[in-house]
Each structure stands twice: as structure tokens, then as C-alpha cells.
Structure 1
Amino acid sequence: MTIFGPVLDVRPLFRQERQELLALLRSLSAADWARETVCPGWDVHDVVGHVLNDYLRRISGSRDGFAGATFANDETLPGYLARTNDEFVRAARQCSPELMIGLLAHLGPELDRLWGTFDLTAPAALDVSWAGPGPSPAWLDIARDYTEFWVHQQQIRDAVGRPGADQPELVHPVLDTFVRALPHALREVARPHGTAVRVVVPGPSGGTWHAVSDDGRWRMAGDEAEPVGGTAATITMRPDDLWRLATRGITVAEARRRADAQGDHALIDAATALLAIVA
């Protein structure tokens, strides 16, 4: 097992998440498509264009082996992504909502077929930088894309005041993916071997996860019982607060205010700075 914990296979969920998104988009008025979202400078139309870009980029890269846009001189990964995402979103403003809905509906099954060809335990096509440096497993790469699509759908729903896609079977894998960033979030805090940090999310969408100190680094625990070194810190957060913290829909300070945290303050501070986007 890697530091990221047990394999999480989200592939069966893409179709359901996409059906929820398409039903939402088909119900929107012209005014809804122009509503501002939490993404700076992007309205609903722009967020949909960004999701379409994700579909196209993944199929082009993972299916067709096409490298796509190249890095500019001295460009960082966050800078590269910000630039290329903005370029596509600007171009997509020429596309009608109907066209973008049709493209998502057409490309989605092709993307599903692509996921089915992956060996989940093989190295990822695209490493998950927010989970730490070094190689990521394919299952985490795929789960990262699932969270990307689900979170952008929620941002659209927030903008137009339409809650949904909040069934436990859709939400739990998002939270489960985001907590895999805990070893990276805790990396600067050294503790004795076996020391554990527990994250608890109550409710049907939630669960309990442990990150454990292991020979100078942190790893996600598997399904074993209580970690042998004892739990040094416990953080309890609502599902909505956890995913918004991980994507910076709320600030770290606000997430800490809403959480119930007990134990080692340094571990609590590190864990509640968890980030699951490239920034």
C-alpha cells in the first residue's frame, strides 16, 4: 500500500455525476448561465467551459497521447494551468450552452471507456501534486478528476441556487479523495512512529480516516483498528466544510472555526490547512 491508503475506485460514479450535471444545465435559463460563481472572473458558462476543457484534455492526453499546450519559459504548474484554463474558457465563450451540453453528453461515455482501460495500481498518467511529490497511483489520478467534476457542479449549483448531486454515494468519494492529502499536509510536523491524526466527518456521506506517522513520513492508514501509537489529534468537520476547505471555497480560518478539534495543536493546524487543488 502507498502512503495514500487503500485503492479507491470511483469509475462507476462518473456517469451518475454527469447525468446530474446535464439535467441541471438543461434546466438553466439564459440568466442562470450568466450568474457569477465562486471561481474569480468566471460565470456559470465559463465553469461549464472549463469542465469541457477537462474532458477534452483528458481524452486527448490519455487516449491519444497528445501532449497539448507546452509550458512557457520558467512557468510553474499553477501558472501553466491558470493560463491554459483561461485560454480555453475565453474561447468557449463563443459556444452556445446547447453546444456545450451536447459535447459533454457525447464525450462523457468516451471518457468512461477510457477510465475502464486503466490499471488502478499503475503509475498515474498525471501525478496528483496536491497529494505530494513523486509518483501517484492511477486510482488517485482518476479520483482527482471525479472530485474536479463534482466540485465544479456544486459551484454551479451554488451560483444558481439549485442544491443537488448530494447523495451520499456521490459525496463520500469526494471526501475520501480529499483526505488523501493529509500525509502531504502533515509533512512538516514530525511525531513518533505510530502517532495518528483522526479526521471524522459525521453523517451518511462521511467516515473516519487516520493519517499515521511512519518512519519519518505520514501515510494514510488502511482499514486496521485504532492506530497502535494512539490518536494525538481528532478533527471533526461537516461534509460541506471539508470539501470547501480542500478547494478553498472557505478559508482555513473559517474551517477551523467551524471544526471541532481536540489534541495536538500543531497537528490540528497542519491538518486543517489541507489543500486538494493546485494553487
Structure 2
Amino acid sequence: MPSSSPIFALPLFPKVDQLLIDLLRTLSIEDWEKRTIVPHWTIKDIAAHLLDGNIRALSMLRDQYFGEKAENIQSYPDLVAYLNRLNADWVQAFKRVSPAVLIELLAITGPPYQAFLASLDPFAPATFSVAWAGEQESLNWFHIAREYTEKWHHQQQIRLALGQEEVLYADELYYPHLDTSMRALPYHYRAVTAEEGAVIAFSVSGVRGAHWFLQREASAWTLHKTHQLPVVCSVNIEAAVAWRIFTKGISKAEALEHVQIQGERKLGEVVLDMLAVMA
């Protein structure tokens, strides 16, 4: 399977949304204020950020209302800084909102957001490209899959703080997150040189089908689900660590303790710096 093969993640949105709401309804006041691996953000802050994702998408993409427009965006770092400011502003404002109201708003906005995504032609150009995969223009199926990874990993950040991560590690829910994130590999390795035909194998332990092969072809890397050429390096990542690597949730030194690399080690270690989020 080449890296362009589509991922259809839309049917998973109602499931992850309901899992989040069910979890949040069980939390005590103390739980809402627990710190997470996201610097300076509590569980409540992440829940507010997830609500922002629903509302911002409906406003901009469904209603074509962009409100505060980005200005002076000259580079990727400029875009990241702009998005970080928007995120911080929203989270700060929602500190005055109760957990009960936050849950109600998540329950209200989830279905129309899902309905909007379902209305999109998956093979039409998306309004926003998946920049972390190096794309200047993306198709809607990739945009939707990217949005799924946002919902998955932010909920997992909440669950990690509570010690309740296991449910999201189900193959049905975790594999699409990984498969989407791994689409960043060719772009991430773009400056890495190797002999033509060299193959790097990547796998995530304990997740059915979680195997990918990055192959050097001419002057670029391409991603596949099968390979014919010899593997020069293989990288196996523990399931509980893979998503944290790709979302800036663990240091490289700590991640190395949970990654096995065989063959040309320098080629394998490059993945430890890969991000599949705007950061």
C-alpha cells in the first residue's frame, strides 16, 4: 500500500467522542484539575481544547466564518505560533466554565461536526492541508484522518493522567491513529540519504497490522505496507510510547528506552524526532 492509500476514519468519531463523554462524566472535581503531559494544561484544559476543535471546524469549514484571520504567516513556525496562541486563548477563557457545561457542549457539538465531515467528498481538496506530512494540498480523507488523530491523542492524554489508557489501545481505534501519523515518515526523512532501494521497517508492538516500510526511491522516500527489497534497518516501538513520540509527549532519551532498533541505527533513530501534530 503506498502512502497515498486513503484512510477512512469517519466511522470512529462517534465512538471516541462517546468514550470521552462517558469518561468525563465519572470525574471528580479533583480529577479535572490533574496535570497532564501537555505543559501547563490540566485535564479540563484538554477537554476545552477538544471542544474548540469541534466549534472552530464548524465555524470555519461548515459556516465559512473565519473570524480572526491569520496575518503575517510567512513560515511553518509562524503558523504554529499563531495556532498555539489561538489554543491558549480558548483554554484560558474556558477556565471560567464548569465541567458540567463543558461536557454538555462536547455532547452538543460532536454530532453536527461529524455530520459536516460526512458531507465532504473524501477525494476533494481539503480547506487545510496536512502540513506535518509536508503537503501543500490534501484531500478530505486525509484531513478527516488528521482530525481523528487529534481526538484520539488528546483523549489519551487525559486517560494517561488518570491511568485509564487501555480502551483507546484497541486495534480498531489505535491503528488508524498510527497509520495516519506514519504518513509523516516520507516528509520527515526527506533530508536523510541512503542508497536507492534501501528499506526501513517500522512496527508498533501489539497492534494488529502496525507495520510500515519506508523505501528510498531515486531522490525521495515512499511509504508502503509491503516490501520486496532487503531491510537495512528495523524499528519496533512499544505501543504505549508510539503516540507520545509523534505528539511531542515524551523526550527522545526516554523514548529510546522503549524502542528496539536493528541494523543501521542512525537511520532508525531519525523517527524519534518525528511529529504528526502542528508543533
TM-score by length of 2: 0.92
Which consecutive unaligned segments of at least 5 residues does structure 2 have?
none
Tell me, yes or no, if structure 1 residue 115 matches structure 2 residue 117: yes
Aligned residues: CA RMSD: 1.8
Matched residues in 2 for 1:210 and 1:122: separation? 27
- Cα shift at 1:64: 1.0
SS in 1 for 2:180: helix
Q: Which amino acid aligns with 1:136?
A: S
Identical positions, percent: 35
Q: How many matched pairs?
A: 275
Contact 2:207-2:239 within 8 A present in 1 as well = no
Tell me which residue corresponds to 2:138. Answer: 136
Which consecutive unaligned segments of at least 5 residues does structure 1 have?
none
Tell me which residue corresponds to 1:263. Answer: 263
1:22-61: CA deviations, max 9, x gaps? 0000000111111111111111111111110011111111
Tell me which residue corresponds to 1:22. Answer: 21
- Cα shift at 1:256: 2.4
Tell me which residue corresponds to 2:249. Answer: 249
Matched residues in 1 for 2:132 and 2:248: separation? 13
Tell me, yes or no, if structure 1 residue 216 matches structure 2 residue 219: yes
SS in 1 for 2:195: coil
Q: 1:1-279, aligned counterparts within 5 Å?
A: 4-73=3-72, 76-163=78-165, 164-205=167-208, 207-221=210-224, 223=225, 225-227=226-228, 229-279=229-279
SS in 2 for 1:260: strand
Moved more, 251-260 or 44-53: 251-260
Matched residues in 2 for 1:182 and 1:205: separation? 20
SS in 1 for 2:233: strand
Matched residues in 2 for 1:31 and 1:68: separation? 35
1:222-254: CA deviations, max 9, x gaps? x5x423x42221101111111111012111222
Moved more, 15-24 or 126-135: 126-135
Q: Which amino acid aligns with 2:158?
A: I
- Cα shift at 1:72: 4.4
Matched residues in 2 for 1:211 and 1:249: separation? 24
Matched residues in 1 for 2:56 and 2:85: separation? 14
